[in-house]
Structure formats: structure tokens, C-alpha cells
Chains A and B, each alone.
Chain A
């Protein structure tokens, strides 16, 4: 099974900062990588699929990149509503749609 490892597990940042979260797959997954945002007590929200395609309505300050085993989610200028937990998910080997362990983005 493909394992997904995110780093860091938690991150403190301030409004206006640029932040980057990394996701590494245990084997190549091409560009079959999704990013989700989850706020406390809420359902996850799909932000990016196919490593870099933003879902309609997602602010352009979010961007994704990478292929193979290494991927990044970047937020160019943090807004107050961006503080949340972010999960990557591989969709290379259906039906096992494995998630990373999550990265909690907290306000400094």
C-alpha cells in the first residue's frame, strides 16, 4: 500500500505569511494527489486535485505542485480563514484512496 507522509505535522504562521506544506508518497503516484482543508468540527473541503488543479471557488492564493513522490501545497498570503488542518490524498491506486496524517496550521 502507498503511504503518504506530510510535513510538518503542525505549523505556526501569521496572517500575510507565505506557507508551504509538503506531502511525500512512498512510491510514485504521478500527479494523482489531492489537497483538502478541514476546520474544527467541519467536513473536509477539496481544494486541489491532480496535484495542481484548483477546484472552482478556491482562492488563487492556494496553489499545488509536484509529481512522482513529492508534492507541495502553498498559500501565498495567509488569511484568517486559512487556519485549519490540511490533508493530502493519493488517488493513484484506487480503490485505496490513502490520506496523509494531516498538517495543522495554527496562528502564531
Chain B
């Protein structure tokens, strides 16, 4: 069965960096686009970043541009989110999610999600 397992969260000081990982299993990881979505405590969902199946195309939400980098290693079936210059407002549960397609496009959706990893940015 499809499984996505995030790790790497914790408490981090403002301005510091952290790398999240998402280990995928139960499907051919290299056949699907992937996303990171976050949810601040008690708040709604916010799409953060996407990457195509082969890593050739990536996009971030404006609020994290220049600070967050999405990447993947298809040989390790793992998705990453490198987060730098962290701000208090980045505090959230970060979910990785699988896209319905290889190349996320109009009309797609996110059909499998991990359980999330909490990143708390605090001094």
C-alpha cells in the first residue's frame, strides 16, 4: 500500500535551517509529481511547493521563495524540503502529498498524504 512518511521536524530558532524528508513506498515514486503542503496550528491548508516526477520542474508559493527548496532523490524514493531563514510564521505541520500525475497541472489533485511533521520556529 502507498505510504508517505515525513521526518525532520522539531523546534528550530528563527533564521536557522532544517531539512524535511518524506520516504515513499508502495508505489513507483519516480512516476509521480510530489508536493509539500503545510498547516499552521488550528489553521487551514496551504500549498507550499511542487516538483515534477523527474525533478525537472519545481515551484514554490511566493511566501517561501528564496528560502525553501524542494528536491527529490528517485533512487532513494525520498522527497525533501530544505527550509532556510525560518520565520515564526513558518510554524506548521508539513505534509508531503502525491500528485495524481507525473507533471502537476490543471485538473490534478493530491491523492495520498503523509502523517505530517511539525516544525516549530521559536526562540
B and A form one assembly: yes
- The answer on a CB contact under 8 Å between A102 and B115 is no
Tell me which residues across on chain A come within 8 A of B44, comparing CB atoms: 87, 99-102
Tell me which residues across on chain A come within 8 A of B16, comparing CB atoms: none
- Nearest CB to that of A87 among chain B residues? B45
Q: Which residues of B contact A (CB under 8 A)?
A: 35, 37, 44-47, 50, 59, 61, 95, 97, 100, 104-111, 113-116
In the complex, how many residues of chain A place their beta carbon closer than 8 angstroms to a beta carbon of chain B?
27
- The answer on a CB contact under 8 Å between A95 and B59 is yes
- The answer on a CB contact under 8 Å between A46 and B61 is no
Max count, chain A CB within 10 A of own CB: residue among B44, B45, B46: B45
Task: Output the least CB separation between A62 and chain B (Å).
Answer: 14
Tell me which residues across on chain A come within 8 A of B35, comparing CB atoms: 97
- The answer on a CB contact under 8 Å between B95 and A32 is no
- Nearest CB to that of B59 among chain A residues? A95
User: Provided the pairs A43-B116, A87-B45, A102-B44 are in contact, do residues A32 and B111 lie with their beta carbons within 8 angstroms?
Assistant: no
Tell me the bound Cα distance from A46 to B45 in angstroms. 13
**Is A66 engaged at the interface, CB distance under 8 Å to the other chain?**
no
**Is A107 engaged at the interface, CB distance under 8 Å to the other chain?**
no
- Nearest CB to that of B61 among chain A residues? A96
User: Provided the pairs A43-B95, A99-B44 are in contact, do residues A94 and B115 lie with their beta carbons within 8 angstroms?
Assistant: no
Tell me the bound Cα distance from A92 to B59 in angstroms. 15
For this complex, 25 residue pairs linking A to B, each with C-beta atoms less than 8 Å apart, are A31-B107, A38-B45, A42-B115, A43-B95, A44-B45, A46-B111, A49-B108, A50-B107, A87-B44, A89-B45, A89-B47, A89-B110, A91-B106, A93-B106, A94-B104, A94-B108, A95-B50, A97-B47, A97-B108, A97-B110, A98-B47, A99-B45, A99-B46, A99-B47, A101-B44
